[in-house]
Every structure is written in C-alpha cells, then in structure tokens.
Chains A and B, each alone.
Chain A
Amino acid sequence: MSPATMTPIERVVAALTFQTPDRVPVALYFQSGVQHDLVDMDYTWEEGLNHPRKLFQVVERQYTEYGADNFFLPVDFRVEGEALGSKVEYRLKTGGGMRMAWVTDWALKDKKDLDKFDVPDPTKAGRMPVILEVIRRLNTKYPDVPIVGFVNGPPDTMTDFYQGHFRQLFVEIASDPKFVHAVLELVTESAIVFAKAMLEAGAVAIATVEGGMIDEAVSPAQYAEFVVPYHRKIRDAIGAPYIYHQCENATPFMDMIVNDIQPACVAFHDSVDLAWAKAKYGSKVALAGNVGISKAGAPFYGSRDDVLAAAKKCLEIGMPGSGFLLSAGCEVHHGIPMENVSALKEAAEKWGRY
C-alpha cells in the first residue's frame, strides 16, 4: 500500500473540486455513534455535549480512531433549537442506555409569539459557544484535517423550535404554509449566523441534513416550497462549500438538490442507486456515499468484511473522474460495531487510490 501523499484537507478539497486526490477521502458524519466514545471516557451525553474539553476529546476520535478525513460537529441535532430557547432533556435510561439530548419544552408554543424571537447570537446562545470553542481547539491541534460544521435543515430545526415535533410541522405545511415560511425564515437566518461563526472559528465547510422532509412524507412540490429555497439561501450566504445530506431515498429530490440548491457535495443513503447518481450528476456535483447503514441487513450491521466488500463496490462506481467521497450513507449511529467504521479507511486505502 503506497503512503498518503496528501493531508486530509488536501484530499477532501481535491475530491470536492474534481481534482485528483491521492485516494478517495473518507467522509463520516458522526452523531449518536459518539456514544461509544462517551462510554469509553465515562462521560454522560450531557457532559459530553456541554463541556468543550470533553466534546473535543470525543470529536477528535473521528479522525484518530475511526479514520475519517474530517471532523464533524455538532454531534447532535438540538443545538439550534436550544439556542432559540427550547429546553432539552438527557435521558439516562431505556434501550441502549444513555441518550442524546432531545427537546421536551419548545420555545415557540403559540404561533402568535413568533415575533418575540430573534436570531440567536452564536457566541452566547445555548451550546453554540461550546461548538465554536471545540472548533478552535481542533483547528489548532489538527490544522490539516478539515472541520465540517453542521447546521440542521431549516424544517428540522423548526421541529426543535415550534411545539409538536414533525407531526405539527406537517400539519402546518398543509394548513398554514404562511406561518411555516415565517418560521423557516427565522431558523434559516439562525443557521446562517451559526454557520458563519463556525467558519470563522476554523471550520472549512458546512454540512446539513434533511432528516424529516423525506420522500415518504412530502411531495416534490412541498420539497420545492419548504426545503429548497431555504437551503439555497444558506448555501449562498456562507461563502464555503455546502455539503447536503438527504435522508431516506433522495432520488425524487435529486434534480432540485443538484440544480436548485447547488451544494458542493450531495450525500445520500444506499436507497439511491450510486451508478445512476454518478452518471446523471457526477460531473456537476461531488457525491458522498453510500455503503449502507440505515436499514436492517445493510453492510454496517454485518461484519467488517461485509463493509469492505460494499465499500469496494462504491469506490468502483464513484471514484472515476474524482468528485467522490466514501461515506457510510447516513450518520454513524451507536448500533454499529465501531470496527466496521474504520473499515472505510482500509477500503479507501486498498481500492480508492488514484
């Protein structure tokens, strides 16, 4: 195996800009998977997400332990909703043990109160200052590893801000679209100021996810109205690469994502045919995917060899012509054997060299 000739940041920039990297970069999107690290370090989720030193220790393992060519944070979705005034709880029981934060008390309970809310100051609001401090620390210690800051998709953030979670978002989409747009304007501005603050602290790209506005739930027309313009606004405002992840089957939305949002990179699940996406969009936008992590029977639930075989297949399809990053397909969650995660780096080194 030939040695690396590029740093992770050089490798990722080359892939995103259709230059030729030394090998395909491994792009990982760590969220609930950090629970493994929290357990190792004997930190609760609340400690891990609220203390800069502890969060730093957790996030740096994405690169040092699991072989990602990036750092990804925040590692939970609730930062923006919390910064807008919602309250979260950390559950310490059930199922897999610890739980990440989730909103139990929404900031906006009554529509008529929307005007009372302002865009939060990322240097002061909620856990945003913690995220910024960790980015600064990572940037100092690992200047050659790209830091990807994460902002939630605006509709997702709305469900952390306005009472009722996704059910109420969908009800409002059908019954009061004007109100939905008003909320989306606020949370989009919040995402922009947070993204800019993360970039100023040392992040080099911003990633986002649409986790709730999925093909089974909303129509392409609803996606065009309630998703696309807000991501385009963020993409245009941040002045840095925007990496867009669509959960579940992105296929019906790909034209809008690629042509209307125009991110630097699109990441998607294995429910999207990578060969189809590469042929149709692979010269316009970098693609990140899609070994398979979300459904029962997906390679990440199997052995390390299963992951290696699936990753090899992805590399064969995705890497010709550059513009490709090897990725799990969605977040690395805590039900996944972590030795399977580091298999991606092994695959990229074995079969992803240019």
Chain B
Amino acid sequence: MASEETYQQLVDAVVEGNPASAASLAEGALAGGAGAYEIIEKALIPAMNIVSGMYDRKEYYLPQMLISSDAFYAAFEKVKGGLTGEQARGKGKVVIGVVEGDIHDIGKNLVKTVLEANGFICVDMGRDVPIEDYLDKVAEESPDILMLSTLMTPTMLSMKRTVDGLVEDGLRDKVKVGIGGGPISEEFRKKIGADFYGDNEKEALAWANVVAGEVA
C-alpha cells in the first residue's frame, strides 16, 4: 500500500509527462508494498483520465499527450510483471500501426494516445509495417482490436492484404479490425471486410469502447 501522496505524485508525473519520475515513483510504490493493479487503478488510470479531459478541453494537444503516454508506459513497464493476464490488457488490448508502404503516422499517434488515455493498452507497431508483422503480432498478443491507418490511396491495398492475411491465418474471428486515414471510407471498409471505419480519434474511441463492452 502506497501513500496517497505517492499516488498523487505519480498522477502528476504522468499528467506532466515525466517518464523518469513516473517510473521511479511506480518502482517506489511497488517497493513500499503496493500492488501492481492498485497502482494502475489509483494513479495511472486517473492520470490518463485527466490527460484525456485536458485533450477534450483543448488544453492538451498531441505533443503533451505523447509525453504523458510515455510517462504512463514508463510506469506501466515497472508494474506489469505483477498483473494478471486480464489486468495487463487494461480496458482492452489494441495492436495499432500504419500499414506497409506508408510513413504518415500523425493520425495513428493521435488515435493511440486517445485510446491509452481512456484505459486501453496499445501495442504500437509504428509505420510502414509489413503485413506479416501484423499477423505475427496478432497471433502473439491476442489483441481485442487491430487498428490500421494510412494516408495514401495506393497503400489502402495493404489494409486489404492484412485483413485477408488474418483470414488465411485463422485469426480473423479473434480480433476486431478498425481502419482509418484520409482516403478511407465506409464503402472501402465494407469492401475489405473490416469491422470499423472512423474519421477521427473520437469515433475510434467510441467504437473501441463498444468492443471493450462486448469482450468484458
């Protein structure tokens, strides 16, 4: 059990985006006898809720969101060894990335940080990610959601190939697939057999919450 003051310091470290401080405080709380999930419940989730609210009120933008996300994960890395399998998935586990052939990752980063701020645990694949890497990661992590992004029309084909790959590897019914990015549309979603298309991070979050409700 850690003190309220320690939890508040950890909340502040995440909200202010200080990864070193967040990691150190999480370690200290563990050493003081706090449980891993207790630290997440009492500090990390409340902190990201604050960050999420600040983003909604346009007090925080992507730069501040990213450093808060870094601080959250710095602390999470310290405590995750003490979590049960279910606890380590947060509200839901999301594998997210930009598809093969595309390097535009601003939209993906925005969606990821908003999901994290709302309690989802994200595995960030980065950008220009080979289709096989997505398939391997889905098999390895068993995420609830796979989210794919692209800004360019030619690389939309990579989305289709990734969804096809999930079918071929017998993974399609184990994961929900959401897609987004400038040229993506509802029509394209239907065409490739994805589960969701969204125009912005808020729509992505709303859908992820629905999925989380279904799997809970």
CB contacts under 8 Å to B, within A173-216, are 173-175, 212, 214, 216
Distance A171 CA – B64 CA, assembled complex (angstroms): 7
Using CB atoms, name the residue of chain B closest to A301. Answer: B183
- Of A145-153, A273-281, A292-300, which stretch is located at the interface? A292-300
A165 contacts which chain B residues (CB < 8 A)? Answer: 103, 105, 127
B66 within 8 A of A: yes
CB contacts under 8 Å to B, within A281-317, are 294-297, 301
B187 contacts which chain A residues (CB < 8 A)? Answer: 296
Using CB atoms, name the residue of chain A closest to B64. Answer: A174
A301 contacts which chain B residues (CB < 8 A)? Answer: 183
Partner among A97, A173, A297, A333 whose Cβ is within 8 Å of the Cβ of B63: A173
Distance A212 CA – B185 CA, assembled complex (angstroms): 22
Q: Is the CB of A216 within 8 A of B106?
A: yes
Q: Is the CB of B105 within 8 A of A166?
A: yes
CB contacts under 8 Å to A, within B46-81, are 58, 61-64, 66-67, 70
- With A95-B157, A166-B106 already in contact, the answer to whether A222 and B63 are too (CB < 8 A) is yes
In this complex, which of A171, A295, A333, A336 has the most chain B Cβ atoms within 10 angstroms of its Cβ?
Answer: A171
Q: Is the CB of A216 within 8 A of B62?
A: yes
Distance A94 CA – B70 CA, assembled complex (angstroms): 31
- Interchain nearest-CB distance for A354 vs B (Å): 34
Distance A348 CA – B182 CA, assembled complex (angstroms): 27
A143 within 8 A of B: no
A97 contacts which chain B residues (CB < 8 A)? Answer: 154
Distance A96 CA – B151 CA, assembled complex (angstroms): 13
Q: Is the CB of B127 within 8 A of A174?
A: no
B101 within 8 A of A: yes
A175 contacts which chain B residues (CB < 8 A)? Answer: 17, 67
B152 within 8 A of A: yes
Q: Is the CB of A174 within 8 A of B17?
A: yes
Q: Is the CB of B183 within 8 A of A95?
A: no
- Interchain nearest-CB distance for B185 vs A (Å): 4
Q: Is the CB of A219 within 8 A of B61?
A: yes
Using CB atoms, name the residue of chain A closest to B69. Answer: A171
Distance A240 CA – B110 CA, assembled complex (angstroms): 37
- Interchain nearest-CB distance for A241 vs B (Å): 29
B107 contacts which chain A residues (CB < 8 A)? Answer: 216
Using CB atoms, name the residue of chain B closest to A32. Answer: B152
B171 within 8 A of A: no
Distance A118 CA – B17 CA, assembled complex (angstroms): 32
A51 contacts which chain B residues (CB < 8 A)? Answer: none
Interface size class, chain A: 20 to 34
B158 contacts which chain A residues (CB < 8 A)? Answer: 94-95
- Interchain nearest-CB distance for B130 vs A (Å): 8
Distance A170 CA – B106 CA, assembled complex (angstroms): 10
User: Contact string, A95-109, partner B, CB cutoff 8 A, digits 1/0?
Assistant: 111010010000000
- Interchain nearest-CB distance for B111 vs A (Å): 10
B153 within 8 A of A: yes
Q: Is the CB of B153 within 8 A of A174?
A: no
A91 within 8 A of B: yes
Distance A179 CA – B152 CA, assembled complex (angstroms): 31
Q: Is the CB of A170 within 8 A of B188?
A: no
A217 within 8 A of B: yes
Partner among A32, A99, A222 whose Cβ is within 8 Å of the Cβ of B61: A222
B100 within 8 A of A: yes
User: Contact string, B122-161, partner A, CB cutoff 8 A, digits 1/0?
Assistant: 0000011000000000000000000000001111111000
CB contacts under 8 Å to A, within B165-187, are 182-185, 187
A237 within 8 A of B: no
Q: Is the CB of B67 within 8 A of A217?
A: no
Distance A296 CA – B110 CA, assembled complex (angstroms): 19
B109 within 8 A of A: yes
A-B contact pairs, 9 of them (CB 8 A): A165-B105, A166-B109, A170-B62, A216-B201, A218-B61, A222-B63, A296-B182, A297-B185, A334-B154
The 10 closest A-B pairs by CB, nearest first: A96-B154, A335-B153, A296-B185, A174-B63, A94-B101, A95-B101, A95-B155, A217-B62, A170-B63, A173-B63
- A positions within 8 Å CB-CB of B: 32, 91, 93-97, 99, 102, 165-167, 170-171, 173-175, 212, 214, 216-219, 222, 294-297, 301, 333-336
Question: Beyond the given A32-B152, A94-B158, A335-B154, could you list 17 further A-B residue pairs with CB under 8 A, ordered by the A residue number?
Answer: A94-B101, A95-B101, A96-B101, A99-B101, A165-B103, A165-B105, A170-B66, A171-B70, A175-B17, A214-B106, A216-B200, A219-B61, A333-B152, A333-B153, A334-B153, A335-B152, A336-B153
